[in-house]
């Protein structure tokens, strides 16, 4: 190790996943000890094992407090550009049902703790990520946003998770281009302070942000947005003239207004909205739509003719337990220029139901569709095969079919579907596989 050039040693130290290892490396040699002070990144997270040991009467006296170790790390570095501090996933998923914890040893957005280390490194910081311990932070309001906005004038990226945030004293941060708030309570009911204080945002992620009433995102430079709405606000509004990618998940807002004329990629998960208004984006090419009521939403997409890549899915049954229908003829009519269509298992099931009810009266198809990808169950092999044959007949330009059968379907049934489908149509390039929820697809054959 002594023969390694100093720049390479520094690169190795900078790539350590856990900054606790950095302290251990200082004991290796004098050179390691000297070079470690030039590392510019801190990545320090509390594990479940450390938390458990700190609570056990038998071991807690041997455990150095998490905050103490972090402050030592910060003070030992000459220049810090990136800080990521938090609790690991098993701790983030704990709840009061698991343990009642009113201490503050892992309350990481605490004003006193932040004030202890932030001012000394704020000038060089480009990125901050804090993932708090929800059990300790959810009932304590934090002014961490105010502290960061006062001190970190060069900050580019900010990520805060699992905490209760106040916007009191929040100052404008014109240099910030990326903001992520995940599973937080935010005292900014309409997102007015977010819009005013972060005017240069290009990336915005709001995941499970509670406390919103009539939130409006109005950001002129925003290009990518992911918004997962945890509660049921009365209205949702997005005004973003430069937005390109939008992923939005909500339930039943009374009003949904999206004005994003440059939108190219749109992922929408919604049940329904009393008022649904999307200003026609001239460049929209990819749409992913998930809803219990797909057909009722189709007519709202008056710009469907521009979409080339379409992905649709739905819950297999509605709230009454009945399987609704997915009218493919209507889908092909609304999205008449789609060249690639992906059907999720719920959408496939509802399309099969529609096909079964229509029978020989089924009409409608498309000459534009070139590729079909589907994940599906098999309730009745004969109906499934007839439905596949219908798709081949009505989509005359179809050349690629990827069919993924649920992994619990009997092997003999899956094999029969494969062989009979390929025998029915030789013009198509077939790909076959198995799917299981939450798992990577397993391929059976490729390129046949």
The verdict on residue 251 lying in a domain is no
In a domain, 13, yes or no: yes
311 within domain boundaries: yes
- Give me the DSSP letters along 268-279: EE-S--SEEEE-
CA 98 to mean position of chain CA atoms:
26
Within-domain flag for 32 = yes
Specify whether the CB–CB gap between 156 and 189 falls below 8 A.
no
Radius of gyration, CA atoms only, the chain: 27
pLDDT tens for the chain, 448 residues: list them: 556 555 555 555 555 555 555 555 554 555 555 545 556 788 889 988 989 998 888 998 888 899 998 998 888 788 888 899 999 888 877 776 667 677 899 999 999 999 999 999 999 999 999 999 999 999 999 999 999 999 999 999 999 999 999 999 999 999 999 999 999 999 999 999 999 999 999 999 999 999 898 999 999 999 999 999 877 677 899 999 999 999 999 888 888 899 999 999 999 998 877 778 888 887 899 999 999 888 888 877 888 888 999 999 987 555 544 456 888 988 998 999 999 999 999 999 999 999 988 865 666 778 899 999 999 999 999 999 999 999 999 899 999 999 999 999 999 999 999 999 999 998 999 999 999 998 888 888 765 5
Helix (H, G, I), strand (E, B) or coil at 207: strand
The verdict on residue 23 lying in a domain is: yes
Is the residue at 121 inside a domain? Answer: no
Establish if 81 belongs to a structural domain: no
CA atoms within 13 A on the CB side of 180: 14
DSSP β-bridge partners for residue 442: 434
Structural domain span for residue 355: 285-448
The Cα–Cα gap between 403 and 374 comes to 5
Position 83 in a domain? no
CATH number at residue 343: 3.80.10
Tracing tokens 């589907």 back to the chain, one arrives at 374
The number of domains in the chain is 2
Q: For 220, which DSSP code?
A: T
On the 0-12 / 13-18 / 19+ scale of CB atoms within 10 A, 188 is buried
């Amino acid at each position: 190790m002594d023969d390694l050039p100093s720049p390479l040693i520094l690169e190795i130290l900078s790539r350590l996943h856990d900054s606790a290892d950095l302290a251990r490396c200082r004991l290796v040699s004098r050179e390691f000890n000297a070079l470690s002070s030039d590392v510019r990144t801190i990545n320090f997270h509390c594990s479940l094992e450390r938390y458990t040991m700190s609570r056990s009467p038998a071991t807690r006296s041997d455990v150095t407090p998490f905050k103490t170790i972090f402050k030592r790390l910060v003070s030992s570095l000459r220049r810090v550009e990136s800080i990521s501090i938090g609790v690991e996933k098993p701790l983030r998923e704990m709840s009061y049902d698991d343990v009642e914890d009113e201490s503050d040893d892992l309350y990481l957005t605490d004003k006193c703790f932040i004030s202890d280390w932030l001012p000394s490194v704020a000038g060089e910081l480009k990125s901050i990520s804090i993932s708090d311990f929800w059990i300790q932070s959810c009932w304590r309001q934090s002014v961490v946003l105010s502290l960061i906005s006062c001190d970190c004038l060069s900050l580019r990226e900010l990520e805060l998770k699992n905490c209760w945030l106040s916007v009191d004293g929040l100052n404008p941060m014109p240099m910030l281009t990326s903001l992520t708030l995940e599973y937080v309570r935010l005292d900014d009911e309409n997102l007015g302070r977010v819009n005013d204080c972060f005017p240069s945002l290009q990336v915005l992620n709001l995941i499970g942000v509670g406390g919103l009433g009539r939130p409006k995102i109005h950001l002129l430079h925003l290009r990518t947005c992911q918004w997962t709405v945890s509660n049921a606000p009365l209205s949702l509004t997005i005004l973003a003239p430069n937005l390109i990618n939008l992923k939005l998940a909500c339930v039943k807002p009374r009003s949904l207004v999206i004005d994003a004329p440059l939108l190219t990629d749109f992922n929408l998960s919604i049940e329904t909205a009393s008022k649904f208004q999307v200003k026609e984006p001239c460049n929209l090419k990819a749409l992913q739509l998930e809803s219990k009521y797909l057909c009722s939403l189709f007519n709202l997409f008056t710009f469907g003719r521009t979409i080339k890549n379409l992905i649709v899915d739905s819950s297999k049954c509605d709230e009454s337990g009945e399987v609704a229908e997915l009218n493919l003829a209507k889908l092909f009519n609304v999205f008449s220029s789609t060249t690639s269509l992906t059907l999720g298992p719920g959408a496939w099931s509802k399309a099969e139901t529609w096909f079964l009810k229509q029978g020989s009266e089924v009409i409608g198809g498309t000459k534009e569709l070139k590729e079909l990808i589907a994940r599906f169950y098999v309730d009745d092999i004969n109906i499934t095969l007839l439905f596949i044959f219908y798709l081949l007949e009505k989509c005359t330009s179809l050349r690629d079919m990827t069919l993924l059968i649920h992994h619990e379907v009997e092997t003999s049934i899956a094999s029969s579907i494969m062989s009979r489908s390929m025998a029915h149509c030789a013009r198509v390039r077939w790909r076959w596989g198995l799917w299981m929820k939450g798992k990577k697809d397993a391929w059976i054959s490729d390129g046949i």
